[in-house]
Amino acid sequence: MQLGMVGLGKMGGNMAERLRRGGHDVVGYDSFSEKRDVESLEALVEALEAPRVVWVMVPSGEPTRATVRELGELLSPGDVVIDGGNSKFTDDQEHATELGAKGLGYIDAGVSGGVWGLENGYALMVGGSKEDVAKAQPIFDALKPPAPQDEAGQPIEGAGFVHAGPCGAGHFAKMVHNGIEYAMMQAYGEGYELLAAVDLIEDVPGVVASWTQGTVIRSWLLDLLVRALQDDPDLEKISGYAEDSGEGRWTVEQAIEHAVPMPAISASLFARFASRQSDSPTMKAVAALRNQFGGHAVQAVEAAEPPEAENPA
């Protein structure tokens, strides 16, 4: 099958390569990459045979919106645009309406797999009409991981790919996926900190590595933490500053809107906010309050030594 790929960064470039390995014809465009096959979006559209399928893999927000708008002016009725970035699901619904008025199909594809997807495959959560998804199914089949097998050696259908619903459903599913990811990473991080804080544990990386087999908390994320600790056992080379992509925020917003309790995901998001404060105003207020109601010692900003131990309130 032929596909146009717009965006050849870490994800888009690897996805294009995986598709080519799978026997598909990929025409790539990226204004910032020397790996591009054509010099413009217009040239990309001209290089594809109708009906065309164009996958957009650029940063979410205005870069994606602008690319979709331009493709809407260049493509022909019956063509399909796939947004595989991390767009908000409400953007998808707007894009589907705008492109649909021109006879164009639209699919939103939540993609998970990171830089490892080239070899391992990508988990795909897509939203759109059955007709449009069917047009792109060979692409999805080439990108997703090989089907795992059950105990009888039979493939487990559906693993790694889902047509989640109409336009917006794919990115909504990926949004929730990333919210869960926030909470899992936070739990691993907190467990690591406690292990490192006590003298009793002499081999922190070894403990974490021991959890990767036969335990209920084993996961690919845990494997990646083991890898990080192998490179830097005390994580001395890494700052404790953690950004958020936006999807954690959107997940919490939707939880509030639908009255779904999400204490773990919410706490993990707020922990990332806290990581960006070298001297937390909140904790300044907490320290001041403890001093006011209980006379507990506080530490001045310029103090070199910590305050003396105090009795609990």
Catalytic residue (one of 88, 135, 144, 174): 174
Amino acid letter, residue 253: E
Distance between CA atoms of residues 146 and 148, nearest Å: 6
Listed in sequence order, the residues at least 6 apart from 28 whose beta carbon sits closer than 8 Å to its beta carbon are 4, 5, 6, 8, 12, 13, 16, 35, 36, 37, 38
- Is 181 catalytic? The answer is yes
Q: How far apart are CA 85 and CA 108, in angstroms?
A: 8
302 is catalytic: no
DSSP annotation of 279 reads S
First CA to last CA distance, the chain? 70
For residue 203, count other CB atoms closer than 10 A to its CB: 11
* Helix (H), strand (E) at residue 135: helix 130-143
* Annotated active-site residue in 181, 202, 236, 305: 181
Pairing of strands 123-127, 105-112: antiparallel
Query: Which residues share a beta bridge with 163?
Result: 126
Question: Residues 68-77, buried b or exposed e (16+ Cβ, 10 A)?
Answer: beebbebbee
> What is the b/e burial string over 227-259, where b = at least 16 CB atoms within 10 angstroms of the residue's CB?
ebbeeeeebeeeeeebebeebbbbbbebbeeee
**Amino acid identity for residue 77 in this structure:** P
Q: Yes or no: say if 207 and 140 are a contact pair by the CB < 8 Å rule.
A: no
Catalytic residues: 174, 181
